[in-house]
Amino acid sequence: MKQNFLFQASNISKYYGQNIGCKNVSLDINPGEVLGIVGESGSGKSTLLNCIYGNLEVDEGDIFLNDKSKTILNFTKISEPKLRLIQRSDLAFVHQNPRDGLRMNISAGGNIGERLMAIGHRNYGEIREIAANWLEKVEIDVSRIDDKPSTFSGGMQQRLQIARNLVTRPRLIFMDEPTGGLDVSVQAKILDLLRNLVRELGIAAVIVTHDLAVVRLLADRIIVMQNGNVIEAGLCDQVLDDPQHKYSQLLVSSVLQV
């Protein structure tokens, strides 16, 4: 295993009864890298993402994280509480639907602050200040800090979810269709936000999307999935501009040109 890797999943398989969720998938991520996972609905993208985040138990394979203290952890071997702690500190997960990633009945500031408290912050004034800073970073008016996310638009909710996830300075963030279901003008704003955060904070990301324009702008490398299998992997522009597999060619040639 290489020294500088951040995250590695090897030979991951997940079955739903007789059906394949994903099969024999391996991937690795270095600090600061963005990996895109593309494929049509039902290709196993979200299953894979949930497996490697530790949300779904895998049937086969190993998942390794080189944690903040340079200890290599195997997700399939560590205790449940330890895994939950890692998920809240080193890792983060942004859901497609912000309602799945936010607490809708507590304030925007509370949504961010809760994550800080979970990793040991106790000073109320400080927590509020950090929360306000993050609202500003994701371009939500600080005057909305005490409002509940249920009063926010979809785009604002998504930005709040990103703030809630990034406030603990994770080193790897998993995103499931982060711009899906959003207005295109809001999508652009979120793409720009993600790119800058990834670069400024050196965060690595795994992004699941069916939007090839989004991966082209965000990802360094991509993997293409079909029926639970990885059928092609490589440099983002190479896979999009000169796909080698029959299915990747179909996927790329099916995009409408704007």
Chain residues in the site for another protein (CB under 8 A): 30, 185, 188-189, 191-192, 195, 199, 216-217, 220-221, 234-235, 237-238, 241-242, 244, 246, 249-250, 253
CB of 146 or CB of 242, closer to another protein: 242
Strand partners, 223: 37, 233
Question: CB 138 → another protein: shortest distance, Å?
Answer: 15
Question: CB 120 → another protein: shortest distance, Å?
Answer: 32
CB of 132 or CB of 252, closer to another protein: 252
Which of 89, 20, 19, 30 has its CA nearest to residue 54?
A: 89
CB of 144 or CB of 195, closer to another protein: 195
Question: CB 248 → another protein: shortest distance, Å?
Answer: 9
Question: CB 153 → another protein: shortest distance, Å?
Answer: 17
CB of 79 or CB of 257, closer to another protein: 257
